[in-house]
């Protein structure tokens, strides 16, 4: 019993240190870069805010319960999309018809380049790629 009493007295003594206002005698260090700003913005005669200053609850927002319902709908939609697009939900069918349609939409097939055209092009590139002679010394 005595131990409980001493523990209670000790707890009350420790909590009594929290009763004071640590900001009452707080001073700003004059060497601080914000000292001038603090002195300019702090007003000791400013009124304290009251509970009447709290704005009323907006009327144009949905009830809290509807947020959860909307979240559940989104989760259900996600599950439906995952189920509909899973690896086992589709196959490649009729791919030759698709490829034929793409080829016809791309236009006529071009003939491969002639060997002589390729050689002439390569020769021209080699000629242009020759470095210039070194500067005279």
- Quote the pLDDT of residue 19: 63
Average of per-residue pLDDT values in the chain: 86
CA atoms of 122 and 119, how far apart (whole Å): 5
| Structure tokens belonging to residue 46 | 């400013």
Average pLDDT on 102-119 reads 89
Each residue of 17-74: pLDDT tens digit? 666 666 666 778 889 888 888 888 887 788 888 898 899 989 998 998 999 999 999 9
* 8 Å CB contact between 16 and 5: no
- Quote the pLDDT of residue 71: 96
* 8 Å CB contact between 38 and 28: yes
CA 70, chain centre distance (Å)? 22
């Amino acid at each position: 019993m005595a131990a409980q009493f001493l523990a209670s007295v000790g707890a009350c003594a420790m909590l009594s240190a929290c009763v004071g206002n640590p900001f009452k005698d707080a001073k700003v260090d004059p060497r601080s870069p914000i000292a001038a700003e603090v002195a300019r913005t702090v007003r000791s005669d400013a009124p304290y805010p009251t509970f009447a200053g709290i704005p009323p609850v907006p009327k144009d927002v949905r009830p809290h319960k509807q947020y959860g319902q909307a979240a559940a709908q989104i989760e259900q939609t996600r599950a439906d999309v995952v189920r509909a697009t899973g690896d086992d939900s589709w196959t490649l069918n009729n791919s030759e018809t698709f490829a034929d349609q793409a080829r016809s939409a791309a236009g006529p097939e071009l003939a491969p380049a002639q060997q002589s055209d390729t050689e002439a092009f390569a020769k021209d590139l080699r000629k242009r790629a020759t470095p210039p002679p070194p500067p005279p010394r």
